Structure 1
Amino acid sequence: MDRIDVCLIALRRILRATELHSKDLAQSVGLTPVQLRVAQIMAESESTTGSIIAKRMHVSQATVTALIDKLDRAGVVARKPDPSDKRQTLLVLTDQGHALLDKAPDALQQKFAGEFEALEGWEQAMLVASLERVAAMLDAAELKSSAVLYPGEF
């Protein structure tokens, strides 16, 4: 097998791993990986705002609003007026949201981050450079993206 085939197979395995994890997450807790990440960010504090979540996820405020709307309808999050600033709306994770987080499998990006952190510095740099090069080869270097491994929801 030549190198191009090996590379294409590796890319397909990466895509397949994200697809399978996404399906597992949906079956176990009924959330998409991106919705799970929003809930995880919210669980880090008693309350937060959409702009803080947008900044953390490297996405637009409009994207976060759409995600929060879905999570609100599902009973995972609630919107509350900020007592110190009536113009601001705070987002809180509900008891149902906390319960979903407790039974959710680890996110694929968390596994990746743990493995990545265990690499030597030169290995991390090489991997970053290689992935940036692959993105450029696929004309994807300039596409807007977030630090979440799952496509299709932004």
Structure 2
Amino acid sequence: MQKYEELLLALRKVIRAIDLYSKQLNKYAGLTGPQLLIMREISAAEGITASAVAQHITLSPATVSNIIERLEHRELIHRHRSDKDKRRVALYLTEQGQMLLENAPQPLQEHFIEKFCALDDWEQSQLLSSMQRIANMMDAERLDAAPVLEVGSYQTRSKN
């Protein structure tokens, strides 16, 4: 097997692991990875704005706005317009949202982060450099991506 074939196989295994986790998360919690990430941000900083959430999780404001609409429709979050500044809309978890978040599994990346942090600095740097180069080789460096591990078709993700 050529080295590039081995690398592509390893990438497919990573994508498959992320896909299996995403399906498990959706089955047990009824949430997608980005939805879980946004709910965790709202829980951590009650009253946060949608634009601040987008900045923290590195997703576009439009993507975050669509996800927030879906979460609000499911009555997992609610918005509150400021009395002092009508332009400011704060986000809060509902009681139902808080209960769902408490029972939801941890994002896949937390397990990854624990293992990654256990590596020596040089190895962390080597892995980071290699993945950045792979992203560049795949012309993916400008793609909208959150620090949450999730895959799926474009149509599936756009429904978040």
Q: TM > 0.5 between the two?
A: yes
TM-score (norm: length of structure 2): 0.89
Q: 2:127 aligned with 1:127, yes or no?
A: yes
Equivalent-residue separation in structure 1 for 2:144 and 2:65 (angstroms): 18
Asked if the contact 2:42–2:91 (Cα under 8 Å) also holds between the matched residues in 1, the reply is yes
Give the structure 2 partner of residue 109 of structure 1.
109
RMSD between superposed Cα atoms in Å = 1.5
Give the structure 1 partner of residue 64 of structure 2.
64
Asked if the contact 1:47–1:93 (Cα under 8 Å) also holds between the matched residues in 2, the reply is no
Gaps in structure 1 of 5+ consecutive residues: none
For residues 9-48 of structure 1, the aligned pairs below 5 Å read 9-48=9-48
Equivalent-residue separation in structure 1 for 2:88 and 2:113 (angstroms): 33
Equivalent-residue separation in structure 2 for 1:144 and 1:93 (angstroms): 25
TM-score (norm: length of structure 1): 0.92
Question: Which of 1 and 2 has higher RCO (CA within 8 Å, sep 6+)?
Answer: 2
Aligned length: 154
Equivalent-residue separation in structure 2 for 1:80 and 1:142 (angstroms): 33
1:146 deviation in Å?
Answer: 2.4
Give the structure 2 partner of residue 140 of structure 1.
140
Asked if the contact 2:107–2:148 (Cα under 8 Å) also holds between the matched residues in 1, the reply is no
Q: 2:52 aligned with 1:52, yes or no?
A: yes
